[in-house]
Amino acid sequence: MSSTKKFSADEWLQFFIEGFKSEANIAQICRQHDIYPSEYYRFRRKALQGAIQALKNGRGKKDREKETFKKEIEKLKDVLLSQAEEISILKKKTNSDY
C-alpha cells in the first residue's frame, strides 16, 4: 500500500460514500484503492468534522440574516405607523377648516 499517492477531495468523498453504503468492509475498500485504513479513518474523521462545521456555519448565517430582516421589518413598521399617525392628524386639520 502507498500513502504517498495523492487523491482529490472528490475521490476521497467517493471512498467515504462507498464505505458508508457498501457491504464491503473498510479494509477491502482500502486495499482496492491502495490506501491505509488509518489514513482512510483520519480523512473520514476530518471530512465529518468539516461537514458538521459547514452545517453549523450555514445555519448561523441564516439565523443572522433572519434576525437582520426582522429588525429591518420592525423599523419599517415603526416608520409606517408614524406616517399613518401624521396622515391622520393632517386629515383632521384639513377637515376642520371646512
Cell of 43: 480523512
Q: Which DSSP string do the residues of 30-84 spell out, in sequence order?
A: HHHHT--HHHHHHHHHHHHHHHHHHHHHHHHHHHHHHHHHHHHHHHHHHHHHHHH
| Alpha carbons 46 and 58: distance in angstroms, whole number | 18
| Alpha carbons 81 and 85: distance in angstroms, whole number | 6
Does 57 have pLDDT greater than 80? Answer: no
Q: To which residue does cell 495523492 refer? A: 6
Would you state the pLDDT for residue 15? 84
Q: 15-54 pLDDT, tens per residue? A: 888 888 866 788 888 888 898 989 988 988 988 888 888 8
Would you state the pLDDT for residue 26? 86
Q: Is the pTM of the predicted complex or chain greater than 0.85?
A: no
Would you state the pLDDT for residue 3? 52
